[in-house]
């Protein structure tokens, strides 16, 4: 499973001009399932994201995770958006290949599992809509943008 994590001041996702998900400060997470990915990998990816220490502590060091923000009297949301294009292979020319992306049925199942697990573990979770044509708006904080991959057996 792949993710691109962005620390944001705010983020939203819209479909046909209507906002379907939004957060204030927190993490915008673009999520991609690849061929052969499993629910166990999705769970491991989510656990890593929830504990990723990329928010500032009182000394200004990146030492807090999104879950620490609630305990510090702040608010940290998660906006989870499916994005199969993270699996792009550009080694063969100028047109990306997406053959490593999971088939739509598996991709949807893993994305929905990821969202369900996130909602069980975190108080503020918003989403996009799987396979929809979405417009994502964000104010990247820092900027902080981190790619993450969890592979089988890792």
Give pLDDT, residue 152: 74
Give pLDDT, residue 75: 78
DSSP letter at 130? T
C-alpha span between 126 and 78 (Å, rounded): 6
- Flag whether pLDDT at 127 surpasses 70: yes
C-alpha span between 130 and 93 (Å, rounded): 28
Q: For the purposes of burial, counting CB atoms within 10 Å of the CB of 73, is it exposed (0-12), middle (13-18) or buried (19 or more)? A: exposed
Nearest CA-CA partner of 87 in 77, 96, 78, 76: 96
In CATH terms, the fold of domain 2-140 is 3.50.80
pTM (predicted TM-score): 0.95
| Sequence-ordered list of residues with C-beta below 8 angstroms from that of 46, at least 6 positions apart, any chain | 114, 117, 118, 121
**Taking residues 78-99, what's their average pLDDT?**
96
**Taking residues 96-119, what's their average pLDDT?**
97
Nearest CA-CA partner of 21 in 115, 106, 153: 115
C-alpha span between 13 and 37 (Å, rounded): 25
Give pLDDT, residue 58: 87
Nearest CA-CA partner of 129 in 150, 146, 107: 107
Catalytic positions: 83-85
Task: Tell how strand 125-127 and strand 135-149 pair up.
Answer: unpaired
- Flag whether pLDDT at 70 surpasses 80: no
Structure tokens at 108: 């949807």
**36-51 pLDDT, tens digit each:** 999 999 999 999 999 9
């Amino acid at each position: 499973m792949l993710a691109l994590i962005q620390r944001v001041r705010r983020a939203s996702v819209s479909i046909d001009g209507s906002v379907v998900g939004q957060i204030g400060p927190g993490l915008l997470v673009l999520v991609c399932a690849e061929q052969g990915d499993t629910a166990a990998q999705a769970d491991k990816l989510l656990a890593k994201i929830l504990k990723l220490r990329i928010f500032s502590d009182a000394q200004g060091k990146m030492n807090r995770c999104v879950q620490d923000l609630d305990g510090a009297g702040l608010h940290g949301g998660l906006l989870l958006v499916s994005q199969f294009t993270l699996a792009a292979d550009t080694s063969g020319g100028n047109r990306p290949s997406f053959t490593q992306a999971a088939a739509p049925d598996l991709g949807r199942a893993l994305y929905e599992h990821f969202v369900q697990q996130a909602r069980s573990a975190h108080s503020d979770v918003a989403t996009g809509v799987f396979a929809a044509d979405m417009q994502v708006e964000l104010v990247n904080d820092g900027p902080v943008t981190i790619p993450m991959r969890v592979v089988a057996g890792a």
